Structures are given as C-alpha cells and as structure tokens.
Chains A and B, each alone.
Chain A
C-alpha cells in the first residue's frame, strides 16, 4: 500500500513539474514586466515586485503602438475568419454530401493546402500579389490567411457533416426550399459546434501570425499586433521592462480567448487525427 502511495505521489510530482516547465518562462516574463529594467540585471532569481511598476504597461501601450496595431489585427483577422469559416462551411458540406466527378481534384487541392509550407509560397506570392497591387494592403493579407486555413477548416466541417443525418435536408428539398435557404436555416444551426471550433482556431492563428504580415506588409500603418513586440528590438531596445509588459499585453487576448474556448480549441486541434 505504501508503495502505491509513493507511486501516486511521484506521479503528481511529475505532472506538476511539467506544468511548471510550461508556465515558468511565462511567469518570469510577467514578474519582470512589473520590475524596473535595472532590476533584471540584479542577482536575485525571482524577486516578487514589492513595488509593481504599472507604468511599464503605459510605455508598452504607447511605444508598442498597441492601439494602431491591435485595430489592424482586428480588421484583418475578423474579415479573414468570417470569410474562411463561410467558405469552408460550403466546401465541407459539399464534400460530405455530393458525389461529383471532380471531387478528387478538389480533395487534391485541399491536400495541397495541408502539405505545402506557407514559407515556400512567400516568395512566389510576393511576386504574384504584386501584379494585382495586393502587396502592402489589408486584402493582400486577408487572402492568404483565408487560403491557409481553408483546408483544415474544411476537414473539420466534413467530419462534422458526415455524422449528421440527411433527413431534414431531404425533407426541405422536397418541400421546394432553395439550397441557400437549406444551408442557412437548416444546416448552419446544426453545424454550430464545428463553426465555433473553426472560427476560434482561424481567429487565433491569424491573431498570432507573423511571417506573412512581415513579408506582404511594408508600411507601419498596416502592421498587426505581433509587430508591437518587434518594435522593441530597435528604438526602445533598452527598455526591457516595457518590452516584457508588451509581451504580456499581446499575449492576453489570445490567452483569454483560449481559456474561454479551450474545449472547442482542444476539440479542433485533434480534429481529423483522432476519430471518436
């Protein structure tokens, strides 16, 4: 019995130890964000700030251009989330229901979206988007954000629709309802769990995205939120405390979204890989 007890105890230590490993760097950043920049160079390991320097956050807020970049992120990411969700809803439904000659081709193109690394498209898209004047525009960021989330989202929807009975749709079709109407008032409400997953995952990935924004945007007016942190590399690079505060500010919306929708995010993350 005591051996069993020791085992349980060891197990808990391991579990908590890993949790500490995942959280410790974040906790350090948060603590450092409340200290003076100079405190960082002291010998103390982790000194809980007795005198929290909240004005670090004010400097982070203004020097990091949080409002401007945050609004840009909001515009680009909301638009691409709505577009990607709507398009993948349609594609997922069609793929789950239809028997179609070109289905294999569509699946092939979707597979391309899963396999092709975003980074391999940065250079050719930079050239190609240039022809349409899309470089350094919001639309030029929205389009690839939609493109690179479509495949995964369609997969989530297809999986969801496969488990839904078709009786309701067939009845509506017999009653003479049009396809847009069936999709909007019958299929969409039934797909709500998948829609929440898809929308949250798409929003989060756009919100966190950096490399496409770094490549396709040139002007400061259009930059998105991750650039707040990058700003501290140049001009304000010695203001460590504000830099840490800025990381906290940028992380918070994503963390809040995650905590609020953790069930949907975890369901979405394993979609397709693990069949229930």
Chain B
C-alpha cells in the first residue's frame, strides 16, 4: 500500500523538506539573490542573535501576542462557550455561526477592513470616540507608536476569537451530562462545578488549544504585513514579516534564509516545549 503514500509524500518533500534544506545551505552564505556568493559560516546567525534588535523585537511581540491570546482571548471565549452551551441549540448555532464569520474571511479583507476602521479621518473607531466626547483618544491607531502594537494585536485576536470559541464549545459538548449533574446533586455551586469538575475534565483540550494558540501566534504574518508592515519604526515587527522584507525587499537572501531557519527551529522548539509543559501541568 506504499504507493498510496508516495504522491502526497512527494509533494511534501518537494515543497517543504527540500526548501528547508535550501534554506540551511543559503543561510551559510552572503548571497544577495543575484550573482556570486561566498560561504560565511555561521556569520548570519551570529549577527541575528547578537546584533539584530529587530529580531528580538519580533520575538517580544510574539510573546505579547501569545500572552494576550492565552490570558484574554481564551478566557473570554471559554466563558462565552459555557454560556452558549446552556442556550437552546438553535440560538447557540446562530450565535456560533456569527462569531466564526471573521475566521472565514480572507486575511486581505480583514486587514483592509481594520485599516479603514482605524483610519484617523474617516475610520468608524474615531468617529465613535468623538461621538462620545473622547476626542483626545481619536488618534491614528496604527501609526502611533504607543498604540500600534495593541491595535495590531486586537485585529489578530478579533479574527481568531471564533476559532477559540469553537474549540471550547466543541470541548464543552463532550463533557458527560451526569458528571455535571452529580456535582450539582452534591450541592456544588455553578462556579464550583466548573472549577472542580468541568475544567479539570477539559484539561487535555485546553492544553491542545494553547499549543495551537502558540503555533498560530508564531505564524502571524499577513495581518501585520498588510496593516503596519512592521512599522512604525519596526515596533510591530513579527518574524514572518521581517524575514519577508529582508528577503524580498532588501534582497538579503543569505540573511533571510538564516531568519527562515531560525523561524522553523523556534516554531518547532516552542511547539515541543509547550506540548511537554502542558502535559506536565495537566497531570
């Protein structure tokens, strides 16, 4: 039956494994994409890790995004999913369908949509703020250094909210009814039932969702590229955007490939670590 696997495997090797090998090879050179190049050993990696504040800024931004996702978006999604699970199935279905709408739109639409919402002159956000007398807050959200990162993170959290909600809702649906009823019969309050019965029952799912959150935060690129492109002054830079600009704007193929390799290693390493960590925690 090996032939069943071979075509798919060939595509994966051609588009994933080989390019990774390419990346490793070119990351050891100073190629600018055009003519001849020289092997420079680990120089690219050395300058990224020791002499590239933008790289470290990108990592810090990813950490901020992960934190907001896990500590703000996820709890909101969980609470809402719990509410939904008590509604009639028709109402819950309608609401779930609505919450997930941003998740099925192209990132190009989502990005342009929010660029317009945030627009300092005609954006609806500032119009709303002015309407309630908060004129001082009506600023240029995406280009103001003190708000740009938060504005970008908000777009990502908004777009991903439906995903988080869907995961938790599906998980809550798997909790056996009698488990909950037994706790209620024992006189446990609503809150206590969740804290001591339902949430512990869902630990495996919660940890999976957190792993997914970490991976998808690492992989954010289009929404930033199409809104701030990492600006102002690299403040909203993320790894995917940064390596794209290094590669295709400045033509630094050697350096860009080194960033790509680090990107893969970080994603894989972080996934592994979080998976391990969650397993230890949920024991």
Which residue of B2, B9, B83, B113 contacts A100 across the interface (Cβ within 8 Å)?
Answer: B2
Task: Please determine whether B219 and A270 come into contact, CB atoms closer than 8 angstroms.
Answer: no
Q: Which of B150-183 contact A (CB under 8 A)?
A: 158, 161-163, 166-167, 170-171, 174
Task: Please determine whether B106 and A226 come into contact, CB atoms closer than 8 angstroms.
Answer: yes
Which residue of A91, A123, A258 contacts B256 across the interface (Cβ within 8 Å)?
Answer: A123
Task: Please determine whether B163 and A23 come into contact, CB atoms closer than 8 angstroms.
Answer: no
Q: A208: CB under 8 A from chain B? A: yes
By size class, the interface of chain B is 35 or more
In the complex, A151 Cα to B5 Cα: how many Å? 12
Which of these binds chain B: A56-64, A141-149, A188-196? A141-149
Closest to A39 in B: B122
Give the chain B neighbours of A90 by CB distance below 8 A.
Answer: 4-5, 7-8
Minimum distance in angstroms from A27 CB to a CB of chain B: 10
Give the chain A neighbours of B170 by CB distance below 8 A.
Answer: 266, 270, 273-274
**Interface SS of chain A:** helix
**Interface SS of chain B:** helix
Q: A159: CB under 8 A from chain B? A: no
Contact with B along A188-219 (1 / 0, CB 8 A): 00000000000000001001111100010000
Q: A222: CB under 8 A from chain B? A: no
Q: B109: CB under 8 A from chain A? A: yes
Which residue of B5, B87, B102, B267 contacts A117 across the interface (Cβ within 8 Å)?
Answer: B267
Q: Which of B75-104 contact A (CB under 8 A)?
A: 76, 80, 83-84, 87, 95-104
Contact with B along A14-54 (1 / 0, CB 8 A): 11001101110110110010000000110101100000000
Give the chain A neighbours of B2 by CB distance below 8 A.
Answer: 94, 100, 102
Q: Which of A70-121 contact B (CB under 8 A)?
A: 87-88, 90-91, 93-95, 97-98, 100, 102, 106, 109-110, 112-121
Task: Please determine whether B219 and A119 come into contact, CB atoms closer than 8 angstroms.
Answer: yes
Minimum distance in angstroms from A35 CB to a CB of chain B: 11
21 contacts between A and B (CB under 8 A): A23-B101, A46-B124, A90-B4, A94-B1, A115-B268, A117-B221, A119-B239, A123-B248, A123-B256, A125-B19, A143-B14, A204-B104, A211-B222, A254-B105, A254-B106, A259-B97, A265-B100, A269-B103, A273-B167, A273-B209, A274-B174
New A-B pairs, 15, CB < 8 Å, besides A32-B116, A123-B243: A87-B8, A94-B2, A98-B1, A102-B2, A109-B16, A112-B16, A122-B247, A123-B248, A124-B20, A124-B22, A210-B222, A226-B106, A251-B106, A254-B106, A257-B104
